[in-house]
A and B are shown apart, each in its own frame.
Chain A
Amino acid sequence: MAIRRIAILFCFTWFAFLCVPVTPQFWQELFALNWSEPGYSNLFRLAHYTPRIYPGPDTFLNWAAVAVIAFVIGIAWVLIGREKTGQAERLYYGVRALARYRLAVAIFAYGFLMYHPLLAPYPSLSNLNTAYGDFTRWKLFSLSLGIVPGYQSFLGLVQIICGLLLLYRKTASIGAFIIAIYLGNVFMSNLAYEGGETVYSLYLIILSLFVLSYDARRLIDLLILQRPAKPNTYHPEFSSQWLRVGRVVLKSSFVLVFVLFYALSTREAFAADRYQFPAATGLSGVQGLYNVIEFERNGTAVPYDSVWTGRWRDVVFEKWPTVSIRSSRNVAIDSNNTEHFESDDRLRTYELEGSAGRHYYSYIVDPSKHILTLSNKNPHYKGETLQFVYSQPDESTLVLSGNDFNNDNLKVVLKLRTKKYLIEEAKRTGRRGVIRL
């Protein structure tokens, strides 16, 4: 039964390699972390580890490569004849423990980011004023989750509970079962919405199925085949004192770092600095949606529905130093669809990712000279800058004059628009009420 033995050893080795960070890349990343950044962002990056053999975006090829290595080790193990009685049981228990904790780390990483609804923030003013069809599927997925922070917290809570169940041997299979179903949905969503975590979510599914496999037979016996089910009888022996102490210390520090510290860190972020949007405050007193009531280019007035793509339709000043301009000018979409944490406001691009219809600019203000300098946040338009002298003749009017990126001279009169959003009105009155908009 050499083949069977090889298969078993291969399996354990493979899963161990999938769980334990062995690639040099991980360690490089670990030592390169900047601990002046918020703790949760670093832990999230580490938690997102997958074995990478090939450079570039993660693919299933990496798994295959690890499998080949594991297979060689499996054969060697059997050939050298180093197996011992009861070894498979011990290995199964041990590798499953690795997988439980590996999985728990990943689940907590996303769980707390959703429990404190950071992952999908409430849509920005610009996002609310962008046509539905101007978003990519992935952005719409995120925006649609962003409008219901309570639901996002609930999903986070489900994950956190599963993570906690995984930390205890006896409840691990229950946690693994629930999280496998949950992750199955995540995987399908990534496929359908063109998300960026297809490989990663399947990786986590595989781990959860491995954890579940330990009890799969008895569960199938009990629930489906409806015959008497035998319980687990293997209990690891921690013979020496230092093993027992070591276990407690390891487990406690795991909970301390990945549950308590991470929870507090995400909570602080939610209270003080939600990473998806810039942290700084924009020019005071201008936040809002503006109609472009006058638009002059090189001294010539351009009417509202001009087909010319340079004609602005409306402008949004966010609470933070971002201004977005809607026009029919084409947008090469920033199609990032994975999480990234930036301390530099200009690199916080969630607001424009997956979105056409508007161009987004971060701006700096020279308050003494009343000058706004806008630079396009979209990496496809690096170096595109506009500079305007601004004035505010009255509270609801903003006049910008200056040069755009083509060195055309623009004079733009913006009028603040008080707009009621159905999404918010309906929240107040409910769908049973009467709304006129």
Chain B
Amino acid sequence: MSSLVTTANDLVLNQQIKERLVATPLAWYAYEKILFRIAVIFFICICIPNSVAWFEHVIAIDWTSLHYRDLYDIARFGSGINIFGNTIFGSNLLGYANWVTTLLISIAVGLAWSWIVRARGTERSEYQVLHYWLRAVVRYRAGIGIIGFGFTKLLPVQMPYPSLGLLNTDFGDFTAQKIYWLSIGIVPWYQIFAGIVEVLAGSLLLFRKTTAIGAVLLFGALGDIVYVNFAYDGGVHVYSSYFVLLSAFLLVPEIPRLYNLLIRERVTQPFRFYPVLPQWLKITRVGLKSGVLLLFLVVFFYLQLVNFLYDPYKQPSVAGVLQLRGNYAVTEFRLNNNLLPANAQDTLRWQEVTFENWSTLTFRVNRPTPLDLSNGGGDPQRDVNRTFEVSCVAGGQRVFHYEADEKEQTLYLEDKYKSIPDRRNRPAGVGGDGGSEKNLQSTAARNKPAVRTNAVLWKPEEWISPAARERIGNEVDKIDAKAQTTRRRREFAQAISLENRNRMILQYSTADNGNIVVLTGLNENKDSIKVVLNRVNRNYALSASTLNAGKY
């Protein structure tokens, strides 16, 4: 185009550019320096971990046997000044109280700093070098953080495709949060796109020249996610706001420049200051940067791929009994040998049974039950604790995890509902997934016996016998060797505590080429039941996923 544009203007503009180049650098205004001092304290504080749990986690990582969650947990931590707690006047301000505390302290320190340098007469004329390093810290914090978040979408496991039990649940029987998660889960390719946007934004932040564009992308994408979290009660509004705040900080120098260029239509100098580094720092910089890129892009991708293929973290990873998988109608139901006729209003009879591809049985009973309202995420290794299929689901849905003794055709079932869910995302501290805060404060509650009115504890000798255990095998070994990690083994080695789950022991047999399944045994009240199931082929209007996580 330029050949057609009149050139007289160009000459004038080029002259202006030359004059401006000579004029930099400029001394900062006093208010700029004060604001900057406050910003230094504030952003440093919110860019370093504030919990012991995070440091313990990092130290404990087995680098020879990495799990994707090891890196995820490095990238995600609580920050800000929390020595005064996480509330202001008893309110946590929707979770933002920590930011306010940190800001107030930063203002106090920043003002004191300004006063001291002025009093001592050692005030600098500008803080270009410190600003450069502060931006470097913020860039890496935001970049690594969002990459850690993005990979669970880039290899779509954060929002799993709905299981049969979820597909059969009515729309009104979910929470808003669940509906949002599912709405992404049904389109794995879109989830990948969202993951690419996040990982790309993060990667762009790791390079000085692409920082502005990366920050714009991060600001836009995460700004939307903040609103989504408020609208759907997603529970991650603080953590997503965190990235909006960091990216906004990175964009601060660009805003007046854009205004100058587009609105005032003046020649505009870029924001650019790269300090000359001594040799040792140059080497350190290249080394650290390569390390970050290798660990958080290459290694992370591989680990997340392994997770997607063999152990998608929100789905149980152990395969279900092959001949049982599918949807079933209940054609006969006996409780203590009494036949309960089909009736949608019956409060004891099972309806709509499914066996998932993995080790889960679901059925509906028309009787109210306490609900798991967590977001079903986190990092549990045991299948029974992977609760995405039970959390935020009403409609009478019961979800049981089972261990199958296929030789004896016996299922040992445990309710996936737990009245006090485990703590998840420990290194992330307060402001992690919804529910973590509740768990942090519930240590006292956890020591009280769990509230289960109708639970009948099974005596150890009534549960899985040593012989049956030998036939079933250990869950920890039941995933692909590539997905075996120290993290998994450590969690399985921990003793199970505070478990007071409903249990059932059911024998299964199949007839008519697997179209009929008969379950007999004892239910959670130790009443004897007999359930005859007829396979139903449901044609869902929802298109099936072309990408299937896990190996079943």
Q: Which A residues form the contact surface with B (CB < 8 A)?
A: 1, 4, 8, 85-89, 92, 123, 127-137, 139-141, 143-144, 147-148, 150-151, 154, 170-171, 173-174, 178, 181, 188-189, 191-194, 215, 218-219, 221-234, 291, 293, 303-305, 307, 313-314, 330-331, 333, 354-357, 419, 421-427, 430-437
Contact = CB atoms under 8 A, between A and B. Distances in A.
B3 to A, nearest CB: 7
Most buried by A among B168, B172, B175, B434: B172
A129 B9 contact: no
A128 B394 contact: no
B176 A291 contact: no
A131 B168 contact: yes
Given A87-B4, A147-B232, 5 more contacts: A1-B3, A222-B270, A230-B13, A231-B261, A432-B373
Given A123-B172, A143-B171, A144-B180, A228 B374 contact: no
A357 B232 CA distance: 26
Contact of B369 (A123, A432, A436): A436
A333 B541 contact: yes
Contacts of B9: 233
A133 B267 CA distance: 57
Most buried by B among A147, A232, A314: A147
A432 B434 CA distance: 8
B171 A228 contact: no
7 contacts: A85-B6, A223-B212, A228-B21, A356-B540, A422-B394, A423-B173, A423-B179
A283 to B, nearest CB: 22
Given A134-B541, A431-B373, A434-B370, A154 B227 contact: yes
Interface stretch (B139-147, B185-193, B506-514): B185-193
**Which bucket holds chain B's interface residue count?**
35 or more
B4 A436 contact: no
Nearest to A423: B172
Given A154-B227, A423-B175, A133 B162 contact: yes
Given A133-B168, A178-B220, A422 B173 contact: yes
A148 B231 contact: yes
Most buried by A among B168, B210, B261, B538: B261
Contacts, number: 254
A140 B542 CA distance: 9
A260 to B, nearest CB: 25
A210 B233 CA distance: 38
Given A356-B541, A426-B233, A431-B177, A140 B186 contact: yes
B341 A229 contact: no
B119 interface: no
Given A431-B373, A435-B371, A437-B371, A422 B171 contact: no
B190 A193 contact: yes
Most buried by A among B174, B177, B232, B254: B174
Contact of B343 (A230, A304, A307, A436): A304
Interface in B427-448: 434-435, 438
B262 interface: yes
Contacts of B258: 174, 219, 222
B310 to A, nearest CB: 25
A1 to B, nearest CB: 7
Contacts of A221: 270
Contacts of A123: 171-172
Contacts of A330: 539
A436 B370 contact: yes
Contacts of A225: 209, 270
Contact of B170 (A129, A144, A233): A129
Contacts of B180: 144
B248 interface: no
A228 B538 contact: no
Given A1-B3, A228-B268, A304-B344, A133 B542 contact: yes
A228 B267 contact: yes
Nearest to B21: A228
Contact of B542 (A85, A132, A174): A132
A426 B176 contact: yes
B493 interface: no
B1 interface: yes
A431 B254 contact: no
A427 B231 CA distance: 10
Contact of B268 (A188, A231, A437): A231
Nearest to B217: A181
Given A133-B540, A305-B329, A423 B343 contact: no
Nearest to B164: A133
Contacts of A218: 261, 268
A147 B209 contact: no
Contact of A192 (B190, B262, B370): B190
A223 B213 contact: yes
Nearest to B215: A223
Contacts of B541: 133-136, 139, 331, 333, 354-357
A232 B13 CA distance: 10
B193 A192 contact: yes
A121 B148 CA distance: 35
Contacts of B540: 133-134, 356
B273 to A, nearest CB: 10
B543 interface: yes
Contacts of A87: 4
Q: List 8 tightest A-B contacts by C-beta distance, closest first.
A: A128-B172, A133-B167, A192-B190, A151-B231, A422-B394, A305-B342, A133-B540, A231-B265
B166 A421 contact: no
Contacts of B484: none
A193 B342 CA distance: 37
A103 B213 CA distance: 24
Contact of A140 (B183, B257, B330): B183
Given A128-B170, A133-B167, A215 B262 contact: yes
